[in-house]
Structure 1
Amino acid sequence: MNIKLITVGKLKEKYLKDGIAEYAKRLSRFAHVEIIELADEKTPEKASAAQNQQIMLKEGDRIQSKIGDRDYVIALAIEGKQVPSEQFADKMANITLDGFSTITFIIGGSLGLTPEIKQRANFKMSFGLLTLPHQLMRLVLIEQIYRAFMIQQGSPYHK
């Protein structure tokens, strides 16, 4: 099993880097984890809708170039489906049973994801209506992926 996280923007805070590294290490017993950080476009303070669209398209092209043809893609999007951790664990198990060897998660930039990336996604997932910093979302996501594997193992970690 391969887990790929495609994210837009560089991770800066040490405490977030440390947390993500810890969960990536824990996950390594279940899957090969690859974290791909893509450059984000600088957004002018008072960008027009057209400028924002161009920024999203550039970031979307970078994201698309990292998605494999046979990847199962889960895009994080506010309009996506919210699922409890147990259902997420079942979903991940079923993805592998359906013959996918790579699950690719996508966290877009501050402007979100292009419609093309959302259409490419096999599943759109939301962590709720709260707005979280994209860097923090990486930590939350990788912890939930680890939690899903622990639920599948029947581990008390989830309790």
Structure 2
Amino acid sequence: MHLVVICIGRLKQGPERELAERYRERFDDIGRKLGFRGLDVHEIAESRARDAHTRMAEEAASIAALFPEKHVFVALDERGKSLDSASFAQQLGRWRDEGIANTVFTIGGADGLSPELQRNANLRIAFGSATWPHQMVRVMLLEQIYRAATILAGHPYHRA
């Protein structure tokens, strides 16, 4: 299974980008041994439209254009389901074992993901009830993907 993270907004050079890249590289190292075919991160520029509805629609079109043909779609949404790390790992492992070709994670812009995208998600997840900066959400998602791989591998990185 191949993993894809699609984000609205770009990370500038600095500690957030370095940390995000560190977790992506760590996942690549362990993930291949577990049957994962890699992890790609796509950044999409924020829409410049004046109203939120148009911004979300433009961003949704850009996101959907990057969806691989066969995929499971996970939307990061503040109203989504809160999964602990072990449950997140089990879900990724289940999709991998079912032969899902691609799992796509999306992080919306400042206005969030369009309602249509949210409705089409196979799973909506949240990192708690707090509001997080998009840069931090990306780092947390990549860390959780790496942590999921370590859990699936029985690695001691994850200590409950």
* TM-score using structure 2 length: 0.91
Q: What corresponds to 2:131 in structure 1?
A: 131
Q: Does 1:115 align with 2:115?
A: yes
Q: Does 1:69 align with 2:69?
A: yes
SS for the counterpart of 2:7 is strand
List gaps (5 residues or longer) in structure 1.
Answer: 45-50
Q: 1:34-76 deviations in whole A, cap 9, x for unaligned? A: 10000102366xxxxxx11011101111011111231111100
Q: Distance in 2 between matches of 1:56 and 1:36?
A: 17
The correspondence of residues 14-25 of structure 1 with structure 2, limited to 5 A, is: 14-25=14-25
RMSD of aligned Cα (Å) = 1.2
Match among 29, 35, 43 for residue 41 of structure 2: 35
Percent identity of paired positions between Structure 1 and Structure 2: 32
Q: Is residue 2:56 matched to residue 1:56? A: yes
User: Distance between the aligned counterparts of 1:121 and 1:69, measured in 2?
Assistant: 15
Greater shift, 57-66 or 22-31, is seen at 22-31
Rounded to whole Å, the distance in 2 between the matches of 1:16 and 1:74 is 22
- 1:1-47 C-alpha deviation (Å, 9 max, x unpaired): 21100000111151011101111111112131110000102366xxx
Tell me the distance in 2 between the aligned counterparts of 1:110 and 1:129.
16
Mark the runs of 5 or more structure 2 residues left unpaired by the alignment: none
CA distance in 2, matches of 1:10, 1:42: 14
CA–CA separation in structure 2 for the residues paired with 1:86 and 1:65: 31
> What secondary structure, in the 3-state scheme, does the structure 1 residue paired with 2:157 have?
helix
Offset at residue 99 of structure 1 (A): 1.9
- Divergent runs of 4+, >6 A: none
Q: Which residue of 2 aligns with 1:47?
A: none
